[in-house]
Amino acid sequence: MNRPLPAARDWSLLLARVLIGVVMFAHGYQKMVVNGIGRTTDGFENLSIPAAIVAASFVTVVEFVGGALLVVGGLTTIACGLMLVIMVGAAAYVHVPHGIFIADGGWELVGVIAAGLVMLAGVGPGRYSVDHVISTRQRRLQSELERITTGVPGVSR
């Protein structure tokens, strides 16, 4: 079985995370700053999205904050899960009726983003991420706590 080199895997995950994160952040920024929540809500109402103000607010915050979190690799699984909800909603309410091609308003972009989000949620953010730094620190602290409480490294009572 062919396995990627560890460094190539981590660089690939970093690239995927940053690209998807930047795209999502840009869409959130557009909704929050450029259009504003009022125009974003109007757009959602025109698309017949239920509870448009709630949906627009949720989408805006998740894209903006979740995109930034993906870029740095923080709370990756949660960010991916919330953004996946958005992609499914966008596909169902807007894009699927128009076919596959984005030029026709189709679902290809939301589908590719959703696939990337599923991959990142399933595989993790990689070594070059805030999540990795935090989990490494937690493992070290747990090991140190076990060493202190048991007097033997790596052994717990």
Could you report the per-residue pLDDT of 65-116, keeping only the tens digit for each? 999 999 999 999 999 999 999 999 999 999 999 999 999 999 999 999 999 9
Question: Is residue 66 a part of any domain in this protein?
Answer: yes
Single out the residue of 26, 112, 116, 117 nearest to residue 77, CA to CA: 117
Structure tokens at 137: 């620190």
Question: Is residue 1 a part of any domain in this protein?
Answer: no
For the chain, the domain total comes to: 1
| pLDDT band at residue 151 using 50, 70 and 90 as cut-offs | confident
13-to-6, 9, 101, 129 alpha-carbon distances in Å: 11, 6, 26, 9
Question: Is residue 147 a part of any domain in this protein?
Answer: no
Single out the residue of 20, 3, 12 nearest to residue 109, CA to CA: 20
pTM of the model: 0.89
Q: Which domain holds residue 14?
A: 8-129
Question: Is residue 142 a part of any domain in this protein?
Answer: no
Is residue 24 a contact partner of residue 82, using CB atoms and an 8 Å limit? no
Question: Is residue 44 a part of any domain in this protein?
Answer: yes
Question: Is residue 143 a part of any domain in this protein?
Answer: no
